[in-house]
Structure 1
Amino acid sequence: MECSKELAWQSNRLFEETNWRMLQDERLCDVTFLVGSGKEEKIMAHRFILASRSTVFFTMFCGSLPEINKTVDVPDIEPAIFRDLLRFIYTEDCSVNENNVMALLYCSKKYGLERLREACQKFLNTNISSDNVCTILQHANQFDEDELENRCLTFVTENAKTVLKSDGLSTISKEVLKKIIESDELYVDELFVYNACKKWAIAHCKSKSDTHEHSELEQRRELGDLIYSVRFATMSFQTFAENVAVENILTSEEKVFVFQNIAGIASKNTSSPFQVISKNRSYRTEIIEVQRFGPNYVKQWNYGGNPDVLNFKVSISCKIVGASLFAPYEEGILEGTISLQNDTSVLIAEKNVRIIYEVSKYYEIVLFDKPIDIEPEREYTIFALLRGASTLKGNDGKTKVVSGPLEVNFSNNVKSTNSTSPSQGQFHSFSFEIKKQL
């Protein structure tokens, strides 16, 4: 009776299932692995199965100097991961997930298991996120996984703001951080890169000693020459003065050199390491025009010295490039200023506007001196204070406009005493610069 029961499971299951059953029951196992950093957990297996599936195990057990001991130490793999590894070797039915993928990738490299490596890479390529990409990138660099490393770097450059804000940034090595911030295609302002480097430095200082706050000089020591990969010379004079020059991350001599570069003054110090990283990053962007009104415009919008004001919010990080104002509908000139602010500061001071009547010109775009960063779900306000010829106006305006990945919501502002609102008035359209969709 006992023999017939044994034969039942042997004859009614697939080959890999019977192999797995033999392993689980520890039948005829002839090698024991002492697994984990403490080498305390014993996991048994079959030399024949291991050697038939792995070139490394084949060399270990069948090579010119075969392993003759019945126990093999594996201190660099934890027991749960080693069991996942054996399951793959015996059945090729290993469940790869975010908790074991990096450890299994390591196992695949160690034991020459190409199909396990492919399974891990497939999982990583389809499950990279802003929260885990730094960890994956670090391991890809460590294991010389060039294809995966390039895939991670591409993800980082396309999602730079969220990645550089993530907790994972603090765990990567200086070598990997350097690869990130030296990319010409990193889609983020240079001040953001600088702040990310400081965040990384503070985290690494704390990992060595968390007994006190770490000074800017300590942060610089941790950063070392990595600081030269920040493209300070591409910042505006004001940005550098207000955010970098007031700190002690850079030396006094380095600050002077950057100021000279921003001002376009040649420095006598021709050997400065800053010189090799002064070029701008090549962002992949596109301009989206968000129109508030349809094509049917109405005459007679007058100006008596009162401002036209409108609030708006965007759904994704972007830059505002300019705004379009309606043009005069008969001979005349419209003059005044336009400005932009958020709830705490003025982003664009008053910019002079002058629009001249032209036949068939319904509106004119007013470009700002430079694109301005706009954060999602934060309220911004645009002001126009104009005098001169009467212009066209828009009616039946939209409170929400969706253009591709960008959604813009408009709302009233009580300071709009010239009657511009989401439904009527000035501001025909807005131009936004967004990251180009690949």
Structure 2
Amino acid sequence: MEKSLSEDWRRGKHLSACMVELFDRGLWTDVKFHIKSDEGEETIQAHKIVLASRSPVFQAMFFGLCADGKDEVKLKDTEKEIFLLFLRYLYSDEVTLTKENAFAVLEIAHYYQVSSLVQFCTDYLATVITTNNACETLTFAMFYKLTSLKDACCSFIDNHAEQVLQSEGFMNLSDDCLLYILKGDTLYAKEEDILEAADTWSRRIVVASGMEENGTNIRKVLGESFYFLRLPTMTYKKLLDFISRKGYFSVEEYADIAARAVEIPDICVSTNSCVARVPEREILTVNPQDGKLVVLNDVNISFTISVTKNVLLSNFVIGEIHPYMKIAKDVYTAEGCSGRYIGSVRHYRKFDNAFDYDEYVNKMITLTTLDRPNNTNYYVTVLAKVDGCALPDYLGLSISGSVGIRDLECKSTFEVQQSQLAVGNVNLHRPLLLQKRSTPYIVDFNLRYSCNNNLHLKARTSNSTQTFCNETGSIQICNVSGAFAGIRSVGFVNFSNRDVDKHDTDSEIISMKNEEIEQNK
């Protein structure tokens, strides 16, 4: 008995380790999988009950109403190493993924409906997106309807559009994936670069199909994607350089686009979207920190934001904040004050010079003397009142704040640890939605030290009185009060609108964006 216990492989192992040991040793297995490999046919053994407990497909296969009771299964088009990784996950909840195997593991997990492994692979693939594989990964995500991975790919493509447009992966896109990318309002690159990439993509298909290589066929192959080339947003010179001789348009269509490019009013363009592309995230600098430092109990400022399209108010960049201690009682100092000579007397005599007391009414003064060899000089100094004192800049203090929009029932709070004078970026826990409308939003911003009521802030204001706007003019910010004290920049997130149908309402659009925010938390 002692010998048996000493050789017990289960000793000291938890359940998961024992399950892996069962698989690795092939103990008490009741099903065999036959897989073809380079070395010929190989056999992998497993346990039906374990597989069925992890996969509804295996449950139906082994214990369902249509189960055939067979103990051997032949697998086609399955790699041995991928299947072993998959089975090991079923036994252990662990898998080692690489860029090379993640797609294949996700495919087999999807086939056998192991949702936890699908999500694990999805999360991993979202971390290894590059300019070379972004389009391939997006194609994969759209085929398997992996929403979070699709969104991650689009965000990466939007923020690296210039490089992705030049990649081989872009040229290998399917029609649906090309359309989905071009629909993005946040595909931020020069429109002429996007046009050139789409033109090259289409020409490859035209040539491969034996069609005549002309503008009409290139536009025909692009199909609906052609509409989402924002050609009317290009300058007139760019239109001449990149479009005039391509043969995409009739004379009338080109005239409309050219008129739109030079901002002739009341021009309707039906062939292409006129919505200018914007970056996914925009930062508007509202305070270059060029004003004076002011002492404030709290930072309380207000400003307006006008938007012509739906955006999210997402973050602030806080500028220099200096801690400043407010003194409760009246305190006076002679520092920086010079004394005024009022007379002198010989030693051992009383000072009897006339002294104008009325000059110092309601002032705090001090009299000082200076002994000379033969006499003593008298001086009067008007003391300065001390309202507070500057503290060391790096105290690691906690700063709390809030952002609210007056006519909306929405408010966001935050708290940051100050490790340097320039506090830096502060992300709102839940971004505030600003819907397009004709009247501006009034935003109230508050900032204060959390620890002490006597601790005040010295913040730098802005000297500028201008209205700040982004490149397309869709966002405008204007000071109401406080001169943006404490704030350096305001950050926004733009909607890509890729999943928005032309007939979707604003409420449906907003609902979709809120779901995306929750997924990305």
Q: Which category describes the TM-score, using the shorter chain as reference length?
A: 0.5 to 0.7
Structure 2 residue 277 is matched with structure 1 residue 281: yes
Q: Residues 2-31 of structure 1, C-alpha deviation per residue, up to 9 Å, x if partnerless?
A: x95994434455444444344344444333
Structure 2 residue 29 is matched with structure 1 residue 29: yes
Looking at structure 1, the residues matched to 205 and 95 of structure 2 have their Cα atoms a distance apart, in angstroms, of 35
Check the 8 A contact 2:86/2:95 in 1, yes or no: yes
Q: CA deviation at 1:97?
A: 1.8
Aligned to 1:185: 186
Q: Percent identity?
A: 24
Check the 8 A contact 1:141/1:149 in 2, yes or no: yes
Relative to 1, partners in 2 of residues 1:231 and 1:212: Cα closer, same or farther, differing over 3 Å? closer
Check the 8 A contact 2:35/2:80 in 1, yes or no: yes
**Rg larger in structure:** 2
Structure 2 residue 133 is matched with structure 1 residue 132: yes
**Aligned Cα root-mean-square deviation (Å):** 4.4
AA aligned to 2:173 is: I
Aligned to 2:45: 45
Structure 2 residue 117 is matched with structure 1 residue 116: yes
Aligned to 1:228: 227
Looking at structure 1, the residues matched to 206 and 84 of structure 2 have their Cα atoms a distance apart, in angstroms, of 37
**Runs of 5+ unmatched residues, structure 2:** 289-470, 473-487, 490-521
Relative to 1, partners in 2 of residues 1:187 and 1:196: Cα closer, same or farther, differing over 3 Å? same
Larger deviation, residues 100-109 vs 251-260: 251-260
Aligned to 1:147: 148
Larger deviation, residues 194-203 vs 48-57: 194-203
Relative to 1, partners in 2 of residues 1:286 and 1:21: Cα closer, same or farther, differing over 3 Å? closer
Looking at structure 1, the residues matched to 201 and 79 of structure 2 have their Cα atoms a distance apart, in angstroms, of 29
Looking at structure 2, the residues matched to 158 and 29 of structure 1 have their Cα atoms a distance apart, in angstroms, of 50
AA aligned to 1:231 is: R
Aligned to 1:20: 20
Higher helix share: 1
Check the 8 A contact 2:36/2:42 in 1, yes or no: no
Q: CA deviation at 1:51?
A: 1.0
Looking at structure 2, the residues matched to 91 and 141 of structure 1 have their Cα atoms a distance apart, in angstroms, of 29
Looking at structure 1, the residues matched to 246 and 23 of structure 2 have their Cα atoms a distance apart, in angstroms, of 62
Looking at structure 1, the residues matched to 141 and 11 of structure 2 have their Cα atoms a distance apart, in angstroms, of 43
**Runs of 5+ unmatched residues, structure 1:** 292-369, 372-402, 405-438
Looking at structure 2, the residues matched to 157 and 34 of structure 1 have their Cα atoms a distance apart, in angstroms, of 44
Looking at structure 2, the residues matched to 205 and 71 of structure 1 have their Cα atoms a distance apart, in angstroms, of 49
Q: CA deviation at 1:94?
A: 0.7
- Matched position secondary structure for 2:66: coil
Q: Residues 317-365 of structure 1, C-alpha deviation per residue, up to 9 Å, x if partnerless?
A: xxxxxxxxxxxxxxxxxxxxxxxxxxxxxxxxxxxxxxxxxxxxxxxxx
Higher relative contact order (CA 8 A, sep 6+): 2
- Matched position secondary structure for 1:23: helix
Check the 8 A contact 1:23/1:44 in 2, yes or no: no
Looking at structure 2, the residues matched to 253 and 29 of structure 1 have their Cα atoms a distance apart, in angstroms, of 74
- Matched position secondary structure for 2:171: helix
Check the 8 A contact 1:56/1:112 in 2, yes or no: yes
Relative to 1, partners in 2 of residues 1:174 and 1:73: Cα closer, same or farther, differing over 3 Å? farther
- Matched position secondary structure for 2:33: strand
Check the 8 A contact 2:211/2:217 in 1, yes or no: no
Aligned to 1:341: none
Q: CA deviation at 1:72?
A: 3.2
After TM superposition, the structure 1 = structure 2 runs for residues 36-435 of structure 1, keeping only pairs within 5 Å, are 41-46=41-46, 47-75=48-76, 77-204=78-205, 219-250=218-249, 254-263=253-262, 264=264, 273-274=270-271, 277-283=273-279, 284-286=281-283
Q: CA deviation at 1:175?
A: 1.1
Aligned to 1:9: 9
- Matched position secondary structure for 2:73: strand
- Matched position secondary structure for 1:9: coil
Check the 8 A contact 1:185/1:282 in 2, yes or no: yes
- Matched position secondary structure for 1:105: helix
Q: CA deviation at 1:256?
A: 4.1
Looking at structure 1, the residues matched to 51 and 66 of structure 2 have their Cα atoms a distance apart, in angstroms, of 17
Q: CA deviation at 1:200?
A: 2.6
Check the 8 A contact 1:130/1:166 in 2, yes or no: yes
Q: Residues 26-65 of structure 1, C-alpha deviation per residue, up to 9 Å, x if partnerless?
A: 4443333344799x74442321221122222112211111
Q: Residues 90-149 of structure 1, C-alpha deviation per residue, up to 9 Å, x if partnerless?
A: 222211221122222222222222321232232133333323222221111111111221
Looking at structure 2, the residues matched to 94 and 280 of structure 1 have their Cα atoms a distance apart, in angstroms, of 44
- Matched position secondary structure for 1:188: coil
Relative to 1, partners in 2 of residues 1:182 and 1:25: Cα closer, same or farther, differing over 3 Å? same
Looking at structure 1, the residues matched to 260 and 188 of structure 2 have their Cα atoms a distance apart, in angstroms, of 22
Looking at structure 1, the residues matched to 53 and 157 of structure 2 have their Cα atoms a distance apart, in angstroms, of 40
Check the 8 A contact 1:26/1:45 in 2, yes or no: yes
Higher strand share: 2
- Matched position secondary structure for 1:274: coil
How many residues are aligned here? 297
Check the 8 A contact 1:20/1:91 in 2, yes or no: yes
TM-score under structure 1 normalisation? Answer: 0.56
